[in-house]
Structure 1
Amino acid sequence: MTTGKLNAFKELLDILDKLRVECPWDKKQTNESLRNLTIEETYELADAILEGDDESIKKELGDLLLHVVFYAKIGEEKEAFDIESVIKSLNKKLIYRHPHIFSDTKVANSKEVEENWERLKLKEKGGNKSVLEGVPKSLPAMIKANRIQDKVRGVGFDWEHKEQVWDKVSEEINEVRDEIINGDQDKIEAEFGDLFFSLINTARLYGVDPETALERTNKKFTKRFNYLEKETISKGKDLKEMSLEEMDIIWEKAKQFDK
């Protein structure tokens, strides 16, 4: 790390030390009060990444870094840990979990790196913890499903050939249809959950992040609908008074802006 980087990081720590003592807002913050703000900042970074906006990514990374050093400062005040021990702990973990870099372990590809990572994590926990124990309970359901599937894949619980998953998807679709016919709302919900889980698994097998894929569609739909709404208003009409056929004509025009 260059002297400039070290100085910039030290300046950040010094600024936070001063704010923690002199600023009424910063002074009263706790781990609990910062938690939701940290989640919000993480989503703002995710938005910037999806937009491909480097300037916004830089800004949001700064906001997240502030939260990291803030939690470390609170830990220091409680005499539980500080930013130095946080970094040293991270360094130790990175070296331990990359034996193919820092030791003599051989790997053929990134898949083997991930499998080693999961095995080493279990060893760190004494070998008697669940593979899924580290999946945060508060993760959004789609991200959690993807993480669960990725975790179990790391210990070999996965389809032998990715093409096999399509039979499972077809099976789940049929089960949803059956329960819709039966009219049991609780079972319909359960079967939709199974279908979503299998589709998320399918996306993972084909190298697609389901959260990113769905968000791309959300943004595309929003852009098209905003166009539909704008065009309708410009014609002096109300969406509620238009037929689906009329809406569809404008919707098809909106597709030309999909990029």
Structure 2
Amino acid sequence: MDHPETIKTILDALSDTPDIRALFLSGSYANGMADAYSDIDFVLVAKDGATDAIAGQWHEAVAQTGEIVLWWDRTTVPVLINAITADWTRTDVIILKPEQLAAHTQHSLKPLFDHDNLYDGLAAAPVPAGPNLEKFTYQIEEFIRILGLLHLAAGRAEYINGVLGVYHLRNLLVALLIEETNAPNRGGVLHLNRLITDAQKALLVSLPSPVPEREAMIAAHLAYAKAYLPRARRRARQIGVDWPERFEAVTWDRLDQTLGIKRPYAMED
């Protein structure tokens, strides 16, 4: 069953259910950026929210689209249900009470049915929130913390853990690159190509692959430090975040004392 058929099947199964007041598409199917690899995100509005009865009705609707092989029912998020069918169609639904829908905007939803005209009462688009200063501060400190653990990984010969550290550094670098582009419609984690520039992609491709060997592990940490820290410092200045100067300084001192490692880039004025 293709995605349009899946959407229509679920719509037909639920549109006359009394306690379900509205069903919307969200995510890439709402903003027009879906492709053949997208999941199908729904927002369902029920009179009493995410009850067991509503979850059961959603299960019956999804089961009409194919054999359900994965079903996560309100586990990590109390209102979220994830499903995968045998053809690997992925459907996610957030189940809300009518008053909870106000957290969404018309820009983020596409109505499938809306018995109470809830969509008309939503704001047209979200108000730009600006940079998250607290989150960015945490990311900087986390990068320096993981970099500082290099001396531990090397000292214990924990090269596999050192590889995991490189992956953490890479994720933080990717988050920084996305922040630099300020791309709209970010979508899920599998949409990196449309979120960063060709130059940023070239930077990521140029960085060494993590290898569980001492010298390779050290070289990878330093390469990511050289790529991340100057850029993060510039970003911090732009958005008004105080740089953790003392933390970074003592981290480089520790790496110098234990591994003979120097800062791999010149400090900017």
> Quick check: which one's strand share is greater?
2
> Quick check: which one's helix share is greater?
1
Normalising by structure 1, we get a TM-score of 0.27
The structure whose Rg is larger is 1
Normalising by structure 2, we get a TM-score of 0.26
